[in-house]
């Protein structure tokens, strides 16, 4: 039997920052031994295990608001959500010295190039991954960045002072437009279209409530922005336990195995792939930090591309026909059909 739980790590909170009356940032210190596992791209998130008296724990994803080009620590920002158990528990209980179990960074809401001109559209706590992208692009890239940030009122603006500092430091490359609902009403397609007309060739990243993202997407399409330039980030409450240990037993070997050739983090791996175990289970059981957050087919964090061979998915809640046509599959739900499969996580 092979077993590994190296996909689960414990990090200590070294600072709790009050961003607004309803939002905090948790600063996690990354031990030297885990630095390689917590390298991340701007726009990615961490999955935290939050204690629960009802179920023992719940798993929730929180975007990194820190920049890998600026910050030594990993920082996630949490906003209270009505009826949201985990967000409210963290806002009420998080303290310096607290240790939480955490999965390695994951997510695909990441610019392909920090040199591109970026149009960032955020509402509320949707500013969290957007902040990481903006800081990283300004520090490590060469393009211009426009941020349109919607909130109910001025008191709800997260990172307000930091955004002002960024605008002063990068006056020719960074512009922030605050959309306050108490002054301007909710964003509408015509109003956003008017604002965004000059930017159809930018790369757009959109994060916020579903209605806000739908409005932004319609406005971006209205100015003629190509679909390939529009990127969304959306989280769902995870129903499974992504922190559970992974085991491969002798029974798996008896079922026969395909051979998987996998490109992951610049390395090429070759592993036996039991017919009835998912690709993610095989990778985690062998100690490899593959990207994932839910292990239940409810997100797309573990999406990878099948370059050769045939697979089938047990469940798919996120990939659309266009994704499938490109060869994308969910590692947490994918089992082999052909004897050899070649898969690429580095896209």
Domain of 49, CATH number, reads 2.40.30.10
Give tens-digit pLDDT for 226-280. 999 999 987 666 666 777 776 665 555 555 789 999 999 889 999 999 998 999 9
pLDDT at 101: 94
pLDDT band at residue 2 using 50, 70 and 90 as cut-offs: very low
Which residues have C-beta within 8 Å of that of residue 189, sequence separation ≥ 6?
215, 218, 219, 222
Residue 251 within any structural domain of the chain: no
Taking the C-alpha atoms of residue 252 and residue 258, their distance in angstroms, rounded to an integer, is: 11
Q: Are residues 313 and 286 both part of a single domain?
A: yes
Of 241 and 165, more confident: 165
pLDDT band at residue 175 using 50, 70 and 90 as cut-offs: very high
User: pLDDT above 70 covers what percent of the chain?
Assistant: 93
Of 82 and 90, more confident: 90
pLDDT at 115: 97
Is 327's pLDDT higher than 80? yes
- For 242-258, the DSSP string reads TTS-EEE-HHHHHT-EE
Taking the C-alpha atoms of residue 217 and residue 298, their distance in angstroms, rounded to an integer, is: 22
Residue 252 within any structural domain of the chain: no
Judged by DSSP in three states, 57 sits in strand
pLDDT at 294: 79
Taking the C-alpha atoms of residue 278 and residue 319, their distance in angstroms, rounded to an integer, is: 17
Alpha helices in the chain (DSSP H): 85-93, 127-140, 160-169, 181-184, 189-196, 210-222, 250-254, 279-285, 321-325
- Whether 74 and 30 have beta carbons less than 8 Å apart is answered as yes
Residue 151: DSSP 8-state:
E
Residue 164, class by beta-carbon neighbours within 10 Å (0-12 exposed, 13-18 middle, 19+ buried)?
A: exposed
User: What CATH number corresponds to the domain at position 193?
Assistant: 3.40.50.80
Judged by DSSP in three states, 115 sits in coil
Residue 3 within any structural domain of the chain: no
Taking the C-alpha atoms of residue 80 and residue 85, their distance in angstroms, rounded to an integer, is: 9
Locate 310 and state its tokens.
């045939």
Q: Are residues 229 and 139 both part of a single domain?
A: yes
End-to-end CA distance of the chain: 32
Residue 242 within any structural domain of the chain: no
Q: Are residues 30 and 83 both part of a single domain?
A: yes
Taking the C-alpha atoms of residue 87 and residue 85, their distance in angstroms, rounded to an integer, is: 6
pLDDT band at residue 1 using 50, 70 and 90 as cut-offs: very low
Residue 28 within any structural domain of the chain: yes
Q: Are residues 95 and 35 both part of a single domain?
A: yes
User: pLDDT above 90 covers what percent of the chain?
Assistant: 73
pLDDT at 297: 80
pLDDT at 261: 97
Of the candidates 37, 43, 175, the residue with the CA atom closest to the CA atom of residue 114: 43
Is 56's pLDDT higher than 80? no
Q: Are residues 122 and 222 both part of a single domain?
A: yes
Judged by DSSP in three states, 346 sits in coil
CA dihedral 94, 100, 106, 109 (to 10 degrees): 0
pLDDT at 58: 87
CA atoms within 13 A on the CB side of 19: 25
Q: Are residues 127 and 211 both part of a single domain?
A: yes
- Whether 5 and 246 have beta carbons less than 8 Å apart is answered as yes
Q: How far is CA 31 from CA 10, 35, 50, in A?
A: 10, 6, 21
Residue 240 within any structural domain of the chain: no
pLDDT band at residue 4 using 50, 70 and 90 as cut-offs: very low
Q: Are residues 219 and 309 both part of a single domain?
A: no
Taking the C-alpha atoms of residue 294 and residue 292, their distance in angstroms, rounded to an integer, is: 6
Q: Are residues 32 and 123 both part of a single domain?
A: no
Is 27's pLDDT higher than 50? yes
- Mean per-residue pLDDT over the chain, rounded: 91
Residue 24 within any structural domain of the chain: yes
Handedness of CA 49, 50, 53, 58 (dihedral sign): negative
Q: Are residues 159 and 262 both part of a single domain?
A: no
**Final residue belonging to a domain, choices 106, 129, 162:** 106
Q: Are residues 165 and 59 both part of a single domain?
A: no
Q: Are residues 340 and 280 both part of a single domain?
A: yes
Residue 159 within any structural domain of the chain: yes
Q: Are residues 123 and 222 both part of a single domain?
A: yes
Task: Please tell me the total count of domains within the chain.
Answer: 3
- Whether 25 and 19 have beta carbons less than 8 Å apart is answered as yes
Q: How far is CA 289 from CA 29, 46, 297, in A?
A: 19, 13, 18
Enclosing domain of residue 101:
8-106
**Final residue belonging to a domain, choices 84, 106, 128:** 106
- Whether 50 and 86 have beta carbons less than 8 Å apart is answered as yes
Of 333 and 243, more confident: 333
**Final residue belonging to a domain, choices 57, 80, 106:** 106
Of 241 and 29, more confident: 29
Give tens-digit pLDDT for 115-147. 999 999 999 999 999 999 999 999 999 999 999
**Look-up of token digits 């009505």:** 82
């Amino acid at each position: 039997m092979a077993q590994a739980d190296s996909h689960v790590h414990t990090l200590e909170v070294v600072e709790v920052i009050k961003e607004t009356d309803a939002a905090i940032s948790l600063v996690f210190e990354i031990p030297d031994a885990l630095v390689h596992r917590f390298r991340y791209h701007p726009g990615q998130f961490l999955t935290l295990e939050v204690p629960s008296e009802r179920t023992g724990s719940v798993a929730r994803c929180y975007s990194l608001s820190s920049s890998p080009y600026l910050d030594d620590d990993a920082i996630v920002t949490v906003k209270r959500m009505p009826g949201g158990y985990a967000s409210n528990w963290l806002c009420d209980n998080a303290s310096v010295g607290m240790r939480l179990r955490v999965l390695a960074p994951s997510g695909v809401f990441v610019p392909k190039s920090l040199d591109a001109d970026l149009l960032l559209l955020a509402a509320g706590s949707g500013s969290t991954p957007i902040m990481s992208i903006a800081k990283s692009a300004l520090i490590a890239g060469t393009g211009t960045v426009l941020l349109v940030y919607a909130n109910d009122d001025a008191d709800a603006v997260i990172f307000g002072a930091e955004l002002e500092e960024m605008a002063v430091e990068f006056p020719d490359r960074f512009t922030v437009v605050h959309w306050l609902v108490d002054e301007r009403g909710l964003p509408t397609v015509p109003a956003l279209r008017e604002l965004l007309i000059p930017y159809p060739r930018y790369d757009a990243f959109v994060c916020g409530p579903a209605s806000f993202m739908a409005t932004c997407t319609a406005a971006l399409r209205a100015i003629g922005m190509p679909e390939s330039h529009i990127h969304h980030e959306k989280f769902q409450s995870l129903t499974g336990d992504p922190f559970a240990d992974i085991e491969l037993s002798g029974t798996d070997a008896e079922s026969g195995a395909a051979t998987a050739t996998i490109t992951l983090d610049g390395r090429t791996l070759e592993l036996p792939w039991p017919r009835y175990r998912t690709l993610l289970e095989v990778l985690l059981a062998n100690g490899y930090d593959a990207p994932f957050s839910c292990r239940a087919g409810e997100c797309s964090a573990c999406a990878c591309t099948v370059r050769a061979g045939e697979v089938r998915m047990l469940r798919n809640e996120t990939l659309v026909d266009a994704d499938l046509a490109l060869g994308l599959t969910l590692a947490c739900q994918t089992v082999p059909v052909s004897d050899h499969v070649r898969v690429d996580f580095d896209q």
